[in-house]
Structure formats: C-alpha cells, structure tokens
Structure 1
Amino acid sequence: MKKQIFSLILMVLCLSSGSVEAQTKLADGSLLAPTPPMGWMTWNYFADKFNETDIREMADAMVSSGMVKAGYNYLFIDDGWQGGRDNRNNIIPDPKKFPSGIKALADYVHSKGLKLGIYSDAAPLTCGGYTASLNFEEQDAKTFASWGIDYLKYDYCGAPDDMEIAKTRYKKMADALRNSGRDIVLGICEWGGRKPWLWGGQVGGQLWRTTGDVRDKWRSIKPVKTLKDLDTEGAGILDIVDFSQDYASYAGPGHWNDMDMLVVGLYGKKGPSGDFGGVGCTDAEYQSQMSLWSIMNSPLAASNDVRNMNAETKRILLNDEVIAINQDALGKQAVCKIKNDTWSVFVKPLANGDYAIAIVNRSETTQKSKINFAELGLNETYEIKDLWAHKVIGKGKKWSGMVQRHETKMFRLKKI
C-alpha cells in the first residue's frame, strides 16, 4: 500500500512539474530541437519583400557557401508569404510571390538538405498585417504539415499582454502541431515580456525569444532597464546578452532561450535591422555576436545575403569550432561569472568535460585581460585553445592578453 501511495505521489509530481522533455519527446523517444536550431531567416534582409525565386536562390547559396555543411540546416520564411484564405478557410500563400505554392518550394528546399520554416501569429493578423492563425490553429497546422513545413515561428503582434492568454494561445498551436502528423518545431516569439522561459516548454514550445527584435548595432545609446526601454531604444547585441544571461537554468536539450537573429554581415543594411539606430557593426562586434550566441546556446539564424558574403562574414559564420560550442550535446547555457563596466566573462561546461569561456571587452578601448581560471570555478590546469585563431595558445591556470574594443575572446579549456 505504501509503495502504491508513493508511486501515485511520484506520478502526480511528474505531471505537475510541467517537464519540458515530456512535452517535446517524439514517438521514438527523441527530442524536437535537441540542439539549438541553425539556419537562415528572411526578415532582416528582405523584410516582407521576397518570393519563391529568392528562397530558392538562398537555398542554393546555403549549399554552395558551405553553410549547410557547417550545420545551418533550416531556411526560415518570416512574415509576408501569406495570401489570405481560400473558400474553405485554408491559409494560402501569396500567388504572385509563390506561384508554384509552398509545397513545391518545400520539396526543393528539402532536396538541398535543408528544412523549411514558416511564420504565423497568435492573433487575427501578423505584425506586417497579413493573415494569421488565431482560431485556425488545427487547420493551419495541418496545412503546414501537408506542405512539408518543419518549423513554425509563432509571433504575438495584436495579442493581449496577459501571460495566461499567451500560454493558452501558444499551447493551442503547440497541440495542433503535435496533432498535425508531422514533427514541427515551435518557436515562441512574444519578445520576453510574459517571461516565456518560465512556461514556454510546458506549453509545447522548443524555443522562446527573450527580448524584442535585434538591431544591427552593438548596444543602445541610452541606458535601458526594462524590456520596454529596449523596444524604445532598439536592442543591440550587448543589450540582448545582458537581458538574456539570467535565464541559463531554463535552457537545455529541446528548450532554448532565443536571442533573435544573427546580424553578422548586414553592415547597416536598411530594413528591419537598420531601425532604431541599427547603423551596422564592426567585424569584431559581429564576431562577438557569434561567440556569445554560441556560448549562450541561442539558435543561430543568419540573416545576411548568403549569396554575397565577404571573407570576414564567412570566417565568422562558418567557424566550426565555435559552432561546436553552440551545438554541444550537453546543452548547458553559459553562466556569466564576471560582469562589470569593462568585462563580461561566461563559462559553459561541455559534454566531453571541457569548458568554453568567452571574455567580452565591453569598453570603448583595447584592454588587457587577466583571468585566473579559479575565479571562474575552474581549479585544474588546462590546455587553452583560441577558437578564433584555431590554435592552442598555452597551458596553465590563467590567461592574460589584449582584447580589442567590443571583441570577444573565446577559448576551449581541456584539463591536463
């Protein structure tokens, strides 16, 4: 009898805990999004002005540039693809932009070794004023599945501020996707105001945005204290890092904190990422974004023109050793161990027992860093590999060196 009571209590605790993995396990026991999704997204480069030819060209370029080989295996179509609903209320693509339909496009993208993502919103209309999915969740999920969609970015423009309503709406779409007959990753995009890291996994999401949209800049000019401040000033790379660093405990295999798109290689392009002071970044700042998004386990969604990348952009986006930190099977998000006006230092444990560390120069001038690994909770002697220089630079219990303005040094430490 006691054993039965204990078993019942244990079962109730498991059900009430809202286990993230329980919501995302597939029929074969695997997880949706076991590592952070990687790919390329339309929004920052095209906004809503794109068509099926553009998407096919980007798919081709992702292969020829080496992005697919490096692990960027999603092509995400953002807002602007919709053409309303037909006489049976099925959502349809814009016939001028997609004369061949989404199914044919998905087949082409899949033939390139890529998966296809699409976009909708938990309201009647999307952020761009296009047809969205509120009250059509089951129907739209089945449509997406029939097209061969692999990922849904689900936005929240035009929806109420209330957290409970958000949870209800996202769960409804998550359930619809699970019932669609196809494994489709759900990206929750409500910009962090309703604290989705607390509930996103429990309602069936695999990732959730932590802030408003990223802009192509290092940081906000004016100090920001709240997410609303960040929306007003425009979120720079460092701003998003600062707002997202406290949520490490909520990330892991199948449930990720999404810090929004990579702006690497945009160089101040006019458009969504150019709003709110998005004047462009230096290559050192772009390298920092790649480093920090990787060590903090954010999805890596490039948004530059992959058909025309310069050597520096390729060097940053295709760094296999940095990508390996992001895709590490252990799935632990880095923890910020040091933060002051000059430095932020992050530490991430890796599956094989190594550690990754990132040292960010937040200041406006080149600085000399002196890091005793014991200050970071790392008490052994380590081989130190510089992941941007691609070489072992020393062995020991500390590191010192010069770090440029807004640069991030990224090392892999192997115990010896």
Structure 2
Amino acid sequence: MKLKLVFALLLIAGTISAQVKLAPTPPMGWMSWNIMSVNPNEKDIKEMADAMVASGMVEAGYQYIFLDDCWQGGRDNKNNIIADPLKFPSGIKSLADYLHGKGMKMGIYSDAASLTCAGYTASFNFEDQDAKTFASWGIDYLKYDYCNAPEDVATAKLRYGNMAKALRQSGRDIVLGICEWGPREAWNWGAEIGGQSWRTTFDIRDKWNDTDGKGGVGIYNVIDKNAGLAEFSGPGRWNDGDMLNVGLKGVKGPSGAFDANGCTDAEYQSQMSMWCMLNSPLYASNDIRTMTETTKRILLNKEIIALNQDALAKQAERKVKNETWDIFVRPLANGDYAIAILNKASSTQNAKIAFSDLGLTAKYEIRDLWQHKVMGKANQWAGKVASHETKVFRLKKV
C-alpha cells in the first residue's frame, strides 16, 4: 500500500513538473481567428510574424503565432492530417521553421471530435497520429477545441486526456490549451489530465459587457468570471480569458458577432490590465501590420506585461466588488504588490482607496504602470478613474 502511495505521489509530482516546464508563465502571442477567420494562409501569417518582430512584440514576449481553425486539407492516403495546399503551399513545417528562425513559436488548432467548429478535419480517434504529425512539423502549442463533441464532463476529460498523453509521447514539448469554453469547468480537472491552460468562457466578442441581452461574451464578463478562479491558477496552469480585443475597433468578422461594435481605448486598456493581473495567456488578435500608436502602447506596456509574467505566478484576488468598483490585489515575486482599480460605472468616478482596507498595512511608493511614473509615497490613493478605465499601481514598501 505504501509503495502504491509513493508511486502515485511521484506520478503527480512528475506531472506537475512537466506542466511547469511547458508553460511556466502564461503563453503570449497572436491568434489568427479574428482577422483571418476561415482563410488563414501562409502569406498573411508570414507577414504577421514579420510585423510582430518589427513592432517590438516578439521582444516584449509575444512569442507565438497561433494558427486557428480552417488550415486543414483533410487526410492523405495514410490518414495523416494535411494542410490545405492552396492556403499553405509550402506546408506547415516550412511555416514553423520560418517562425522558429525569427525566435518565435508556432501554435496550431484541432478539435476533440471528428470535425472542427468550422467543419474541417479534426483529431478524435487520431490523437496519437496527429500529435506525432504536429511534432514532426515543429509545433509548440495545440489549441484543442470541443465543437461537435458530447456535452458531459467525463467524455471531455477522457478526450482531452487522450490528446494530452499523445502530445507527451510525441517526442516534442507541446503545450495543450483546453478550449471547452467553461460549461464543463475544466479548471477543476484540466491540470490533472495534462493541460496547461483552459478557456473559462465562450468566445469573447469586441464589446465591453453583455448587458443588453443580445448575447456574446464581453471583456468585463471574462474579468468577472476569472476573478473567482484564482485558486486554479499558477505555473503551468492558467485560466484562459480568450483573445485580446485590443485594437480591433469593431472590425468585421468573428469578433463582431452578437452586435459587438468595438470598445473604447479605456476598455481595451482595461482588458490588457486585467488579463495581466489575472494571469490569462495573452494572445493579440488585431492586425499587427496596421496597428495604431495607441494599440502599440497598450499591447507593448512592459510594466503591465511584467505582472502577467511575474515569477510568483499568483493570480490577483478581488478584494472589493460593488456597483461601481472592482479592486484587485496581486503579490509579486520581489515583495511588491500590484493593485488594479476598475471603474464599472458609465461615467468618471472619484476614488479614495485606503490600502489597509485591502490588507496592505504599510506605507508604499506608488508607481502608476500606465503613466510610467511614481505618484508619491503613501498608505492610500485618491484620484479620478474614467468610465471602464482600470488604474494599475505597483506598490513598493518604504
């Protein structure tokens, strides 16, 4: 009995170690879906990679390009999954080599059923074969969707577990992103079966909040959901808030579903702030080739990104939630704290925050991470917060 217990503990320890190795901090990159939708292609992906390097995104930590649905061309006469030869004439391995040559990584998409969400070839009953194919191409990440699959939790755990095992045995380190959208609460079991992240909501749309009953998940809907999942987050296990809307500005396509017409720059900045505070993977989805300076400023804020990538990896906890304010606190690896003050109201509000009310009893140097300057030394902060703006401060004990 004791030997069995020791073996089980060693197995769990080994699984945790592998989780951390694959994704010690939340993955960062760019996702093809919102801009390319059903027509991802080699030319545009390479252009996007070039733009990510030129813009400073890769240097800032956005390593991945995630190739979403609709890249598939079926299976060959040996049942190997293949890319659409018109969209990817040089093949996926060539594209992965191109990204790796730029110091980047490549993610790809499949589904735990026979067909993907868009009706393309998926991986159910071909897990081992597809995992080995992905490994031979040099894939670094798999987004694994759940369209056309049974709704129950047990089947989801089985199908995701089978793919996780196949990836581990593929001969290459490949991160597994579980994309079952939340109904089966993958945060309860995702790490156990071998996943490194799990979507917590249905697909995000380019809107602030679903308050009009038209449907679709908005930025604040995700914040509110992930705020309650801090205990499930840590090295190698991340609550995935879905794509960053930053810079979409109401572009036509998937992000515009459910009458989503875009967000203000304050709302986009809040999304970036809160995705970083809440340890979500960061994958931009705007057209990097035509970014505005405002979009660059939001996506490339290294002080905000540093929260997301902090070595302590402890997700922020919501300390205040009322009709007007959400206030979050996050401890950091060097002993500092980050606080985020989100104004949910439709107009500018005056805030006065005593840090002691948040459990922070010392006096602190207060650094505004969006203004990039120290605001003073105190045990409180007072100021104006615009509608749907999030103030983010780094507090250093003095």
Shorter-chain TM-score: which interval? Answer: over 0.9
State the distance in 1 between where 2:148 and 2:226 align: 24
Q: Which SS does the other structure have where 2:377 is aligned?
A: strand
Q: Which letter maps to 2:87?
A: K
RMSD in angstroms over aligned alpha carbons?
1.5
Are residues 1:330 and 2:312 paired? yes
TM alignment of 1:25-174, pairs within 5 A? 25-26=17-18, 31-174=21-164
TM alignment of 1:336-351, pairs within 5 A? 336-351=318-333
Does the 8 Å contact 1:215/1:273 carry over to 2? yes
User: Any idea what the Cα deviations from partners look like across 1:5-38, whole Å, max 9, x if unmatched?
Assistant: 7x658627736xx84x632534xx9611000000
Are residues 1:306 and 2:275 paired? no
State the distance in 2 between where 1:257 and 1:321 align: 21
Shift in Å, 1:278: 1.4
Using the size of structure 1 for normalisation, the TM-score is 0.93
Residues 13 and 375 of structure 1: CA distance in aligned 2, closer, same or farther (over 3 Å): farther
Does the 8 Å contact 1:79/1:126 carry over to 2? yes
User: Any idea what the Cα deviations from partners look like across 1:89-108, whole Å, max 9, x if unmatched?
Assistant: 00000010001000111100
State the distance in 1 between where 2:82 and 2:355 align: 55
Q: Which letter maps to 2:231?
A: S
State the distance in 2 between where 1:49 and 1:9 align: 51
Q: Size of the alignment, in residue pairs? A: 398
2:362 corresponding residue in structure 1: 380
Shift in Å, 1:415: 0.7
State the distance in 2 between where 1:10 and 1:137 align: 30
Shift in Å, 1:383: 0.5
Are residues 1:196 and 2:196 paired? no
Q: Which letter maps to 1:206?
A: Q
Does the 8 Å contact 1:261/1:301 carry over to 2? yes
State the distance in 1 between where 2:142 and 2:390 align: 32
Shift in Å, 1:387: 0.1
1:394 corresponding residue in structure 2: 376
Q: Which SS does the other structure have where 1:167 is aligned?
A: helix
User: Any idea what the Cα deviations from partners look like across 1:138-183, whole Å, max 9, x if unmatched?
Assistant: 0000000000000000000001111010000000000000000000
Shift in Å, 1:45: 1.1
1:14 corresponding residue in structure 2: 9
Find the partner of 1:251 among 220, 224, 233. Answer: 233
Find the partner of 1:358 among 340, 360, 365. Answer: 340
State the distance in 2 between where 1:295 and 1:301 align: 15
Structure 2 segments unaligned to the other structure (5+ residues): none
Does the 8 Å contact 1:51/1:97 carry over to 2? yes
- Counting aligned pairs with the same residue, the percent is 65
Using the size of structure 2 for normalisation, the TM-score is 0.98
Does the 8 Å contact 1:24/1:32 carry over to 2? no
Q: Which SS does the other structure have where 1:201 is aligned?
A: helix
Does the 8 Å contact 2:243/2:284 carry over to 1? yes
Q: Which SS does the other structure have where 1:140 is aligned?
A: helix
Q: Which SS does the other structure have where 1:202 is aligned?
A: helix
Structure 1 segments unaligned to the other structure (5+ residues): 224-231
1:288 corresponding residue in structure 2: 270
Shift in Å, 1:396: 1.1
Find the partner of 1:271 among 253, 258, 277. Answer: 253
Q: Which letter maps to 2:363?
A: T
Shift in Å, 1:238: 0.3
2:215 corresponding residue in structure 1: 233
Does the 8 Å contact 1:75/1:116 carry over to 2? yes
State the distance in 2 between where 1:281 and 1:355 align: 29
